Structure 1
Amino acid sequence: MKVFNLLFCLLNLLIFSQKLQAQNLPPLSYLEEAALKHARLDPNQLKDWQKRSRWAAALPRLQVTWENSLSFSNSNSLEDNLSVTSAGVTIGPESNSIDQDWKDQDQFEIRAIWSFDELLFNRDELNVAREVRDQYFIRKRLLDEVQHHYFNLK
């Protein structure tokens, strides 16, 4: 809509300008090219989009993951020995053990995922085709408007 408003203002300047006369108007092709350039409706850009969408389907999707885990375990064991005999009661040697375990793990993963089905049918190409169609109608409407105002000036 901004394109049409801008074009309308531009053409109004041409119409109401006292300096321009019908014989001094630039060629129609020049005005059409300028209007398309200003509206950024270049068909070559859409061709580039189509090429890029085809190549994008052939390239893999990369996934990179990193995982870090830290764990600590502590185990204590205490043993007492007690011996009861006719000679008496013997409490004898204590046995203690302490186990501590620290684990710090880093895990990296890189995946390359190809979607070969998109080589045959890529949804992005449908979006580009829809954009091509829409821009065709917008360009046609814009050029019709330029031609209409141009011939009204002559």
Structure 2
Amino acid sequence: MRLNLAKIEGALLASMRVNPATLIGAVFLDDGRARQGFSREADMFVDDYRTLIAVAEGRAEAEHGTVRWKKCYPWLATATGESGENDVAGSVLGYGPAFVLDPAEVTAVAQGLVGEGWGAGKVRAGRFEGFEALVPFYVEAARQGKAIVGGVS
């Protein structure tokens, strides 16, 4: 299970609002890999979703005495599509619906992740890969004024 996120331009977001079913096909192949035109290094974030959940559950248990990480860290839940509030109706990306965040939501999530203490890790070799790159990915997308689309494949 892989969490796949992609930064998208406003024009693609606008076309998604007209026809939500085209969004996933415009960004991801069936296996979650990016379509041509998206830079794997600059526009994509990929992480093992089970590892992300294990880190979030472990931290929630240590800090809050519960493994219910989505309640403890709502910004992380939003950043990973687990809140369900930003699901794209009628879309499926592997294990469930895709989700999309507009540029204002991306900025709020970036700030929220830092506020929850997830920090800003280093980006290795220019790639947004691994849990520690989640915050830098959102911060960069916010700085660029981009939307984010994602899901678990």
Q: TM-score range by the shorter chain?
A: under 0.3
Using the size of structure 2 for normalisation, the TM-score is 0.26
Q: Which has the higher strand share?
A: 1
Using the size of structure 1 for normalisation, the TM-score is 0.26
Q: Which has the higher helix share?
A: 1
